[in-house]
Amino acid sequence: MKIRGLTIAALVLLVLGGVLYWSNHHTAADESTKTSADTPPSILKLDQAAITKVEIKKRDAEPVALAKVNSGDWQITEPKPFRADQSAVLGLVSALASLNSQRVVEDKAGDLKTFGLENPVLEVDLTEKDNKSQKLLLGDETPASGGIYAMLAGDPRVFTVASWEKSSLDKTLNDLRDKRLVPVSPDKISRVELIRKDEDIEFGRNKEDWQILKPRPLRADSTQVGELIRQLTDAKMDLSAADNGAASALTKATPVATAKVTDESGTQELQLRKNKDAYYVKSSAVDGAYKVDSELGKALDKGLDDFRNKKLFDFGYNDPNKVELHNGSKSYFLIRGSGGSEDWWSNGKKMDAGSVEPLVSDLRDLSVSKFVDSGFSNPTVDVVVISQDGKRVEKIQIAKSGDHYIAKRESEPALYQLDAKNVDDLLKAVDDVKPAGK
């Protein structure tokens, strides 16, 4: 009897489990079906990369047409050819490719005037690679929901879309134009020339660093050259006003500088002028004259010495592998341990790393107080710094000259004036280096 009772109980539990599973599964399926039915349909669902042309038509405004060229970039073709702001156009195309509705207002609209779609506020035509085209119409605002009536030509349904969706599509010519005055990518620039008053300065890129080529080969401060390039490539046209008087002001302004920027596609030129406290420019890349902010003006209104490297050594934040210093009859030799070791050695003895660090810091920070053309004779201090695992070797000679010092780098004609205190601190730092444990 007990066995029979257990068997019946097991069968009852099995049946109840099956009913519960069926119930849960059926409910989930019903909810999934309901969710799918309640989800507003997409108006457009396209491959963004396949869109090749877009035309924007607005009431009482010239159409704006864009086309993708062979390079994959976008260009404005109407009302006349302009360079396009690639980021702005891609945002527009992305919004078109995946346009969602809020709801379907009518499955088969009768009178389109009711929705402002007979003469739409905005029409956006697009073409795909296979020449398949779509025409999106946007009409009036909905009475209360903050939406916009919309439909596709050839589709009888009328939708509503969020007002922000319209904002992402309702673009003007000025919204889509490339507003850069020097339309060049900073990392593609190979040459920069700055012609200022009686000075002609040319910079050339050497891998990631810059060098002064004219008026003569000199070490450049890459940070300063980089800032000049940033200001040039960030400079933009102000298209917010139809006539800001810049053309007239430019003719009356005094020339300040001309910048020429070269990349693989050619050279762009920017002329800078100043009238009182205002700066104006004319670019070879765009028509017209434009007022620009003072930061660009200050960046171009600099002389040769502003762009020269004022650090005596170039090893920067790369810790040296070897330091050799001779001061009169005194000589010091310091070698860093291999394999990234923090240890320093001198003549086979381990040195106190804490006493070596001030010396390295003083060498790294040794800066020019003034660039000079003479005054170097009878050097008394010789310094050799080897870094980057022997790839960089810097040899410096330093000579006393009155109340300061003059330094010269090997194989360079340039002379660097140094403050006496900085050199005295360096010589004291090398004297203070001591063996480990003392």
Same-domain status, 171 and 191: no
User: Quick check: is 32 in a domain?
Assistant: no
Per the listing, tokens 């109840």 go with 16
Same-domain status, 165 and 190: no
CA dist., res. 206 & res. 188, Å (int): 12
Q: How many CA atoms lie within 13 A of 28 on its CB side?
A: 6
Taking only the tens place, the pLDDT of each residue in 418-436 is 999 999 999 999 999 999 9
CA dist., res. 74 & res. 126, Å (int): 13
Same-domain status, 171 and 64: yes
User: Quick check: is 148 in a domain?
Assistant: yes
Strand stretches in 276-348, DSSP E:
278-283, 289-292, 322-327, 330-336, 344-346
241, 273, 307 - which closes a domain: 307
**DSSP H helices in 265-330:** 294-300, 304-307
Beta strand 147-152 with 74-78 is unpaired
Same-domain status, 427 and 342: yes
176, 211, 231 - which closes a domain: 176
Say if residue 38's pLDDT is above 70: no
Asked whether the beta carbons of 320 and 386 are under 8 A apart, the reply is yes
- Positive/negative CA dihedral, 238, 72, 70, 95: negative
CA dist., res. 409 & res. 385, Å (int): 11
User: Quick check: is 356 in a domain?
Assistant: yes
Same-domain status, 65 and 88: yes
User: Quick check: is 270 in a domain?
Assistant: yes
Tell me the whole-structure pTM to 2 decimals: 0.78
Same-domain status, 164 and 209: no
User: Quick check: is 78 in a domain?
Assistant: yes
Residue 216 has a CB neighbour count (10 Å cut-off) of 9
Give the total number of structural domains in the chain. Answer: 3
Taking only the tens place, the pLDDT of each residue in 206-230 is 887 999 999 999 999 999 999 999 9
pLDDT given at position 245: 81
The parent domain of residue 387 ranges over 322-431
Same-domain status, 56 and 168: yes
Q: Is 373 helix (H, G, I), strand (E, B) or coil?
A: coil
200 forms bridges with which residues in the sheet?
Answer: 195
User: Quick check: is 15 in a domain?
Assistant: no
CA dist., res. 330 & res. 332, Å (int): 7
Same-domain status, 347 and 380: yes
307, 331, 346 - which closes a domain: 307
User: Quick check: is 438 in a domain?
Assistant: no
Same-domain status, 64 and 156: yes
Structure tokens at 245: 């008087």
Q: Give the mean model confidence (pLDDT) for residues 301-316.
A: 95
Same-domain status, 249 and 338: no
User: Quick check: is 128 in a domain?
Assistant: yes
CA dist., res. 404 & res. 412, Å (int): 20
